[in-house]
């Protein structure tokens, strides 16, 4: 790292700390996100031709983490249209082109991979780095398949974005967080549900008090191997994963 870049990093780290402590900015962000979510903001973006259903800010954060960690396996629960899988595979392709793991792979899990989505994912040029498993992410047979896929991998990153109830996410954390390599991340999406108005989820089985964030804090209460990397959310401000960027430290 050059001296100029080191100084730049020091300056931005100080700015990020101030940004994360700025109550007016946090209130404005919260208000904006409540309005944006009512308009289904996250549904309006694609990655290489597939809906990604993520905030652009979180996509940027994932790019930074993938470059930092250089995973040779990314495990993702929740597939939907496949945009996130395509994004992860594209990042691994770029990493490989820059000297990263040549055989890096993405493993996607979903209880219901709809046929039109499966066909679109399998037809995509990035599918060469993707494998799909259909089944509940917390069923013993699926967990066993994922554990087998991760067994000989050197650097594993996990992304949880399927059923958002407390019990389901807590079970996913118990199953998949132990596969994360030290220094890598388990990213738990939609922890923001805890901070949103209860009337946002009239037809869902999750909401404030029962969501990924409550599961994260329950998991961390008994698992000292992970810590919340607050620098990520402080940098983003706009994110669906506050308290959800979990770094494995031991």
* CA gap 56, 238 in Å, rounded: 9
pLDDT in tens, 93-145: 999 999 999 999 999 999 999 999 999 999 999 999 999 999 999 999 999 99
pTM for the model stands at 0.97
Query: What is the domain count for the chain?
Result: 1
How does residue 237 score in pLDDT terms, banded at 50, 70 and 90?
A: very high
Domain ranges, residue 195: 3-248
Closest listed residue to residue 131, CA positions, set 173, 103, 154: 103
Asked if the model's pLDDT at residue 80 lies above 90, the reply is yes
C-alpha 24, offset from chain centre: 27
CATH code for the domain of 168 = 3.40.50.150
How does residue 1 score in pLDDT terms, banded at 50, 70 and 90?
A: confident
Secondary structure class of 160 (helix, strand, coil): strand
Provide CB contacts within 8 A for 27, sequence distance 6+.
none
């Amino acid at each position: 790292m050059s001296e100029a870049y080191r100084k730049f990093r020091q300056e931005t780290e100080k700015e990020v700390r101030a940004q994360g402590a700025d109550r007016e900015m946090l209130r404005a962000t919260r208000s904006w996100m409540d309005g944006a979510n009512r308009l289904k903001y996250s549904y309006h973006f694609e990655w290489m031709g597939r809906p990604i259903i993520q905030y652009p800010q979180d996509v940027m954060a994932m790019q930074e983490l993938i470059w930092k960690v250089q995973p040779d396996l990314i495990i993702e629960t929740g597939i939907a249209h496949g945009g996130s899988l395509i994004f992860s595979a594209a990042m691994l392709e770029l990493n490989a082109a820059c000297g990263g793991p040549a055989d890096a792979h993405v493993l996607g899990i979903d209880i219901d991979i709809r046929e039109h989505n499966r066909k679109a994912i399998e037809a995509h040029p990035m599918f060469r780095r993707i494998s799909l498993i259909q089944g509940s992410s917390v069923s013993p047979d699926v967990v066993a398949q994922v554990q087998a896929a991760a067994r000989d991998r050197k650097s594993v990153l996990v992304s949880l974005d399927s059923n958002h109830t407390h019990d389901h996410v807590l079970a996913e954390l118990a199953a998949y967080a132990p596969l994360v390599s030290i220094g890598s991340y388990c990213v738990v999406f939609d922890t923001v549900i805890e901070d949103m108005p209860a009337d946002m989820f009239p037809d869902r089985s999750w909401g404030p008090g029962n969501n990924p964030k409550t599961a994260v804090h329950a998991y961390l209460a008994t698992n000292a191997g992970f810590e919340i990397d607050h620098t990520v959310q402080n940098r983003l401000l706009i994110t669906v994963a506050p308290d959800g960027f979990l770094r494995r430290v031991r």
